[in-house]
Structure 1
Amino acid sequence: MKTKYLFTIIALLSFSFSQAQLLDKLKKKAERAAERTVEKRVEKETEKKTDEALDEVFEEKSTKKEKKSSKKKSNEEGSTSNSGNEIVTGSSFFPNGQVLFSDNFKQDAYGDFPVNWNTNSGGEIIKVNGEKAFKLNPSGTYIAKTSKLPENYALEFDLVTENLDYKGLSGSNFGLIFSNESTLSKPKNGGKFGFSLWKGSNICNQINVQNWGKTNGKIDNNIPFKMQEKFNTTTHFTIVVNKTRLRVYIDNEKAIDLPSFLSNNFGNYIQFYLKGTDPKEKHIVAISNVKITEEGEDIRSMLLKGGFSTTKILFDSGSDKLKKESYAFLDKMAKVLQDDITIRLNIIGHTDSDGDAVKNMTLSKSRAAAVMNYFIDSKGLNKSRFMYQGRGENEPVADNTSAEGKAQNRRVEFQTLK
C-alpha cells in the first residue's frame, strides 16, 4: 500500500514537472511568436517608411526630369530667362527660290577636276559615303562658273572634313570671299568669312569676318561659334545675301548676321578658299551638294522699310477662301511676326477690274480679313497687331487688259503700322 502510494506521488510529481516544462515551453514559444509579430510589424512599418521615402525621391527626380524636359522644350521653341520671360529666336533659313546654279558633281569622274569650276591650285572628285565630293587643294581659291549673282540669293553646300585633329593644322583656314569680280585673285573691294581647321585648338571656335575697300564699313571681327564640333564630319552651310546684308547658317543655326557687311553690294561672285592643310597628313577638306537660288529680299527687312505687296497669296475665284498654295508664304510671314512682336500691320486687299466695282471692293476687304484671321486663328498672333482694308480695283499696278496684268493687280499689300 505504501509502495503504491509512493508511486502515485512520484507519478504526480513527474506529471507536474512535465506540465511545468510544457508550460515553460509554451511560454517561450509564445514569447518568440510575440517577438516575431513585433519584428514583422517593425519590418512592415520600416518597409512602409522606406517606400514613402523612395516615392519622395523618385517624385523629386521625376519633377526635375519634367522641369528639365520642359526647359529643353522651351529652349527648342524659344528660351526662358531667369525672370521667367519667354525669349524666342529665329535661327533657321530654308531657301526655296529659283535655282541659279547646282552641282553635285555626278557628271565628273573620280580623280578629275570638276568641269563647272575654276581654280588657281587644283583638286579632285572623291567619294564620301558613296556620294561624290570636290576635294580642295591647300593654298587654293575656287570659283563656280556662274553668271553675275543677283542682289538677293542663297548659297548652300556641305563641307566634308576628315583627319582634322592636330598635326600640321596650326595655320589652316577655310572660308568664302565675296566679290564683284569674276576672278581668282583677291578683289579690290570685298569681304570674307573664314575659320581655322585646327580641331586640336580652341582657336577654331570663332569665325573671322572682314571686309575691305574704299566704300566698305571696314569690319574685322571674330564671332564666337563652336566650329570644333563640326569637324571630321559633314556640315551644312547656308549663306544668305540680301543686298548689303550677310547671314550665315551652319547646320541651320545662325552664326553670322551682319546688316551692312556687303555695303558696296559686292556679293555678285563667291570664291571658296583653303589654306594650310597638309596632304601628307591625309587632311581632307571637300565641298558637295552646291546650290545657289535667287531669293527675294527677306520679309522682315521689307516690313521694317514700310511694307510690300505680294501675289503669292491666292484665293479661290470670286472668293475669300485661301488656297493651299498660299500657306507656305503665310507661314513664313507668320514666323517673322512671331519673332518680332513689335511689328504691327495694316493688311490691304486688291482685285483686278473684272466684275462689279462694288463687289470687288467687298471681296478685297474680305480677302484682307481672311489673311488676318489666318495669322490669328492658325498662328496664334494677337488681333491687336492688325488692321485690314479693301481697295478693290481702285489702285492697279498693271494693265487690266491682259491676264498677266490682272494677275499682278490681284494682290495683298502689307503696310507697317507705326
Structure 2
Amino acid sequence: MKKIQFVITLSLFFSITIGNAQFLEKLGKKAEEAAKRTVERRVEKESSKKTDKAIDGIFNKKEKKKKDKKNTAIISSKKDGAEAGYGNTQDIVSGSSFFPDGTTMYEEKFVEDAQGDFPANWETTSGGEIILIGKEKALKFYPNSLCMAKTGELPENYALEFDFTTANLDYKELSGSEFRLQFVNENKWNKDLKQRSEFHFSLWEGSALPKKIHVENFGTSSKINNNIDFDMNQKFNKTVHFTCVVNGKRLRVYIDNEKIIDLPSFLQDNVGRYVQFYLKGTKPQMGHTMAISNIKITEEGEDIRSMILKGGFSTTKILFDSGSDTLKKESFIFLDKVGKALESDTSLKVMVIGHTDSDGDSKANLLLSQKRAVSVKTYLITNFNIKSGNLQTNGKGENDPVADNNTFDGKAKNRRVEFKKV
C-alpha cells in the first residue's frame, strides 16, 4: 500500500503517465537505495556520537581522577601572595554522625575583616592574619599562637563547627609542630591553664605521630590521658570539617562527620565554657599553613533519648495558640526531635503531661492541659512510627507550677509540656 501511495505521489509531482512505469520502477529503486544510504549515514552518525560520548566519559573519568589526586585550590596571603594546595572536604561517612540543628549563637566568616589583618572579634597571644582560601576568608595562625573568639560564656550544651585547612605540610622543618583545641572555664588567654581539657595532634606529616590524637584533661581527679588511633596524615594539605559537640561533661569530636572522640566524663569542673585554638611550631618561610574558617556555634539540647532514660524532662519549646490545643508551627522542629528519639527506641514508654499558667478558670486550665497533651501525642504517632500504647497523656493545669505565676516570665515557664518515663 505504501509503495502504491509512493508511486501516485511521484506521478502527481512529476506529472508523468502510466506509460512511464519502467521509469518509475527505476526511480523507485534509486529512491530506495538513496533511503538506505541515508539510513546508513544516520546510523553511522549516531553510532559515532555514542562512541565519542563513551570515549569522552572514559577520558573525563581519568581526568577527574587526576584532579582528585591533585585536589588543589588557591590560598593567597596579602603579604606574600603565596599559593598552596588544599583539597575539598571528604565524603560524609555514614553511621556515627552528627548534624547540628540548634539555635545559632555565634558565626564567623571574617566578612568585615581585611585581608592581612588579625580579626577584630578575636584575641591572640602571637598573632595571625586573614587569608583567602579560594574565595573565602580564613584565619591563618602564626607560629605558637593561641587564638580565641569573643563568644562570651558558652552554654552547657553546644556544637562548635569549623573548617580546618593545612598546606605545604611535607615533613620538612615540622618536628614538634601540632594543633591543639582546648576547652577551659576561664576567659584567659593562656595555653597552660590549670583546669582544661584538650585534644591535639602532630602536624609532622610522614612521621608516626599524626596517626594518634592525644586527649588529656588537667586539674581534675577524674584524669584522662590517652592516645586515640586516627591517621591525620590523610587529612593534611586539604580542608577538613571539624564538629565538636559538648553535652555537659561529655565531648564528641567528628572529622568530616566521622566520630573520632567520644568521652562521657572528659569536661570536668565546668570546663568547656570557652574554647581556644593553639598552633605550636611551623615555619612560614617554608610555606607551612594552618587556618580555620566558617566557624559556627549552635546551642544544642541534651540528647532527648538520654534525658528520657534518666526519668524525663519538661520543655517550653512546644507552643500552642492562646487558649487552644492547636500546635504552633514553631513547635514542629522540637517535636520532630522527640519523635525521632522515641522512634529509635521502641522500648521507651512515656507519659505526656500538659501544664498551664494560672490565668483564667482553674477547671478550664485543667481541661486545656489535658487536650494539649493529647495534641502532642497525636502529632507524634501521626508523623513517626511510634505505637500509640507507648504514649500516655495527662494534664495538670495550673496545679504544678515551676515559677511565679505573678510575673510574665514565670507564666511562660509554667506553660510547658512534660515527658516522663513510665
Q: Same fold (TM over 0.5)?
A: yes
Long gaps (5+) in structure 1: 1-75, 79-88
Matches within 5 A, 1:262-281: 262-281=267-286
Letter of the structure 2 residue corresponding to residue 208 of structure 1: H
Among candidates 86, 109, 117, match of residue 104 of structure 1 = 109
Given candidates 189, 192, 198, the residue that maps to 2:195 is: 189
Q: Distance in 2 between matches of 1:103 and 1:186?
A: 26
Kindly state the Cα deviation for residue 288 of structure 1 after the two structures are TM-superposed.
1.3
Question: Aligned AA for 1:275?
Answer: K
Alignment of 1:62-73 (within 5 A): none
Q: 1: distance between equivalents of 2:145 and 2:394?
A: 57
Contact 1:208–1:222, Cα closer than 8 Å, also in 2: yes
- Greater Rg by CA: 1
- The alignment partner of 2:132 has SS state of strand
Change (3 A) 1:202 1:303: farther
Query: Structure 1 residues 267, 216: closer, same or farther in 2, change over 3 A?
Result: farther
Post-superposition offset of 1:240: 2.3
1:135 Cα deviation from its structure 2 partner: 0.4
Matched, 1:257 2:262: yes
- For residue 137 of structure 1, what is the amino acid of its counterpart? Y
| Counterpart position of 1:144 | 149
Question: Given that residues 93 and 257 in structure 2 are in contact (C-alpha distance below 8 angstroms), is that contact kept between their aligned partners in structure 1?
Answer: no
Counterpart of 2:327 (choices 309, 312, 322) is: 322
| Structure-1 residue corresponding to 2:29 | none
Asked if 1:211 is matched to 2:197, the reply is no
Instruction: State the aligned residue count.
Output: 330
Q: Distance in 2 between matches of 1:188 and 1:77?
A: 36
- State the distance in 1 between where 2:159 and 2:217 align: 19
Choose the corresponding residue for 2:132, options 117, 127, 130.
Answer: 127
Alpha-carbon distance in 2 for matches of 1:224, 1:370: 48
Q: In 1, Cα distance between the equivalents of 2:235 and 2:192?
A: 27
Cα deviation for residue 356 of structure 1 reads 4.0
- Structure 1 range deviating more: 217-226 or 146-155: 146-155
SS at the partner of 2:169? coil
Q: Aligned partners of 1:210 and 1:201: how far apart in 2?
A: 21
Q: Helix, strand or coil for the counterpart of 1:398?
A: coil
Unpaired segments ≥5 residues, structure 2: 1-91
**2:383 paired residue number:** 378
What are the superposed Cα offsets for residues 269-328 of structure 1, whole Å, 9 maximum, x if unpaired? 222111243323322110112233444444344334322111111123333332211111
Structure 2 residue aligned with 1:26: none
Q: 2:248 maps to which residue?
A: 243
- Answer whether contact 2:118 2:129 (CA < 8 A) is retained: yes
**Secondary structure in structure 2 of the residue aligned to 1:373:** helix
* 1:4-59: CA deviation from partner (whole Å, max 9, x where unpaired): xxxxxxxxxxxxxxxxxxxxxxxxxxxxxxxxxxxxxxxxxxxxxxxxxxxxxxxx
Partner of 2:54: none
Which residue does 2:21 correspond to in 1? none
Aligned match of 2:98:
92
Q: State the percentage of identical aligned residues.
A: 58
User: What TM-score, normalized to structure 1?
Assistant: 0.71
- Alpha carbons 1:347, 1:368 under 8 Å: kept: yes
The equivalent of 1:292 in structure 2 is 297
Where does residue 46 of structure 1 map in the other structure?
none
Q: TM-score, normalised by structure 2?
A: 0.70
Following TM superposition, by how much is the alpha carbon of 1:189 offset from its aligned partner in structure 2, in angstroms?
Answer: 1.6
RMSD: 2.7
> Could you say what secondary structure the match of 2:333 adopts?
helix
